[in-house]
Amino acid sequence: MVSFCSVISHSFHCVPLPTPNTSHFVRRNNPLRCQYPLSPHPSRFLRLPWGRESPSTRIRASITDVSVDVAVEIKRLPKGEAWSVHKFGGTCVGNSSRIKNVADIIINDDSERKLVVVSAMSKVTDMMYDLVHKAQSRDESYVSALDAVLEKHSSTAHDLLAGDDLATFLSQLHQDIGDLKAMLQAIYIAGHATESFTDFVVGHGELWSAQILSLVIKKNGTDCKWLDAREVLIVNPTRSDQVDPDYLESEQRLEKWYSRNPSKVIVATGFIASTPQNIPTTLKRDGSDFSAAIMGALFRARQVTIWTDVDGVYSADPRKVSDAVILKTLSYQEAWEMSYFGANVLHPRTIVPVIRYGIPIIIRNIFNLSTSGTKICHPSIIGDEDRQILKNYVKGFTTIDNLALVNVEGTGMAGLPGTASAIFGAVKDVGANVIMISQASSEHSVCFAVPEKEVKAVAEALQSVFHGALHAGRLSQVAIIPNCSILAAVGQKMASTPGVSATLFDALAKANINVRAVAQGCSEYNITVVVKREDSVKALRAVHSRFYLSRTTIAMGIIGPGLIGSTLLDQLSDQAAILKEEFNIDLRVMGIMGSKLMLLDDDTGINLDKWREVREEKGEVANLEKFVQHVHGNHFIPNTVLVDCTADSVIASNYDDWLRKGIHVITPNKKANSGPHYEYLRLRALQRQSYAHYFYEATVGAGLPIISTLRGLLETGDRILQIEGIFSGTLSYIFNNFKDGRVFSEVVAEARDAGYTEPDPRDDLSGTDVARKVIILARESGLKLELSDIPVENLVPEPLRVSASAQEFMQQLPKFDQELTEKLKDAESAGEVLRYVGVVDVTNQKGVVKLRRYKKDHPFAQLSGSDNIIAFTTRRYKNQPLIVRGPGAGAQVTAGGIFSDILRLASYLGAPS
């Protein structure tokens, strides 16, 4: 086997070296020599194309040498705020038009001096890694793949360059391709590529893009030099995926490079660097961003601008939270925290070089130059306008998915030194990455999160290390909880601000999300929780919404699109835009279900302007179970409410199950609260024990605040003595007009024709509806009554209660007018009126529904139309009852009452009030 080394100068020389057993480097009399066991073909020498901008420099090394053959005038590097650093990623230089756009941005930048760090063209780095993979797998297609790399850069150069510039670049490109072909052939024969060989191959993408961009800038009349960063940037590998810059050595090399290549515009390669032994290496993941930050520190630049394809740093992943906002400013620590926990901001290490000199990093969108992007800097240099943003202590949220929790638990752990060391020593030995640690102060257990792909090895290692302790019972278990995600909230001094943690956990609880573990450090920048993976997006949306960074979004299912339900849908449609724009509330109707058909839609919600037509066109057979699953099963919307606009007891029987699942329930349906007392108590208990709300204001007074008034009295310590009221809009209308010699059947027919009664007026005249309202108020007041305990005066004549139809009832009703006519005459002769009322006698723990007489100056006698009126006699309002009066019937007011409950729910879930 024959070894090779490149000797780089203006004309390339190749010096064969003795064959070693392993790859290594030796320094002899400075210059350096490198020994590579590459190819069995001594005629194939590897040329490493470095130092192209320094024809007077002769280098015998893998990268560069500091010896200079001829004297040159020393030009010192002017450091400081005159320099502006720009970094352009692969997407920014993805094709010839984008490279020209980058050149225009640099030329138009009014900074005195500019350093540009550039990545390989889009997809090229992957193509270069693929070349190495194919070669070491002995896949001969690496040859054609290399030809594709050549064609991509050759065609780009032809688009952008001409004349000598084009000829020079193509000559160097073909030479590089020839060198790569020789190296790949050697890798193909060996069936293996060392890390340094791989890094050398992969780094060519940056070399080519930097040369092309520098020539395009130079073509426009701007003095520009290009810099192979391997000549100046020295790093020390610390582990397989990380390197530490050697700033002192890098500064010295940069000074020497600049003395030979002074220029006000420098285009440097990103991603690539050298070891102290001049071996090619890379800066690993997100290396070009890291390169830009290091260069910013070396040049002491005014700022570092990272050009990308997004408008800046978002408060949350916009793919998961559509209403995520661009953050104008972030502190270094906030950006670091968000990066660590998975936000697509910067790699955490990118921030480290610039912190020392307080150099701001600007994240900008190359495809949207009108936006200012996000500034990452020290809080002390944030402007007054941006400083106001810092008062929002929570700046953003981010998630990491595909994690598992490992819980090591046992009473033998408490107070035993070395347990944590043994746990994490075992984790280190298997090379696992610990994302988060949580330990109770009792030391009874230690819980930590690792990537799910590593948890099996971690569990086996812990079982082995603690085998004796588990067998002896000192440790009870090493438990694995799979399918987890981390949710992190990040903000300046967030953890030290009272109420932030409470708000975070309240938002998660109201979205029915269980927290499995919590970690909060003393850094005051981060609160981390672990949730089920399936709840990850839902949790993210819930907390983001709760902290006023986006709309409070609620998934709604409307059951019963009859008169009241359809009116509610019309009201929602009319107010949707105003609620979004002015109140930050996004109500999305995900489903509408009637007795026969249902209409379902995805997470954008049903178009309420056309729901009737769409239901006829796309409606499917009604299925309550499927309907609920669809509305609630959307993990992208944190809150779900079902609105039952029916009077169906079967639908009402599902409330219990819905509340247990964390689904909020709003209804005007009286069946649940007036059913068996134990069921009422169970629903109220569920409401108190969970964060699922159950609102039913419209069950008693349509749109009138009857339930809320009663609760307000009780919660403030008042004692209810009696509640008396006209609770039926239908019967209010009938008895308000049953006067002046009119007969009862005539008034009932008039009310039916006007739409005030049910299709069968007996449903109103029976008094059952009023009795249900009385029992609801009685139970809200603390009475343990059943519906059967309420005496009801039925206004339907007994012979007509079994009539075959409503029409037959109306035909026969005039025959029974005499009884009520006599009652009316007796009342009028005494200066009184007849009113059909319900009474809750809390003092005597009973209720009644009956026809009563009232003096004409009584508030109940002053009603008109279909108004309801309710009088609360309490300890505070004993001599003069508290009166609530207003419309108590009609689709508009009932739907309005339901709508009010929906908005109350939104307020409880975090919408600004």
Enumerate the active-site residues: 773
266 touches 116 (CB < 8 A): yes
450 touches 432 (CB < 8 A): yes
- H or E element, residue 554: strand 552-559
Q: How many residues does the chain have?
A: 913
Quickly tell me which residue has 């560069």 as its tokens: 64
Amino acid at 25: F
350 exposed, middle or buried (CB, 10 Å; 0-12, 13-18, 19+)?
buried
DSSP state of 723: E
DSSP state of 382: -
Following DSSP, what letter does each residue of 452-502 receive, concatenated?
GGGHHHHHHHHHHHTHHHHHHTSS-EEEEEEEEEEEEEE-TT-TTSTTHHH
Strands 329-331 and 374-377: parallel
Residue 392: helix, strand or coil by DSSP?
coil
User: CB neighbours of 534 closer than 8 A, spacing ≥ 6?
Assistant: 483, 635
Helix (DSSP H) and strand (DSSP E) numbers for the chain: 31, 36
Which has the closest alpha carbon to 149: 88, 201, 91, 93? 201
d(CA 582, CA 374): 26
Residue 437: helix, strand or coil by DSSP?
strand
732 touches 633 (CB < 8 A): no
d(CA 801, CA 434): 74
Q: Give the residues across from 559 on adjacent strands.
A: 593, 644
Which has the closest alpha carbon to 276: 235, 245, 227? 235
Give the number of C-alpha atoms closer than 13 A to the C-alpha of residue 361, restricted to the C-beta side. Answer: 36
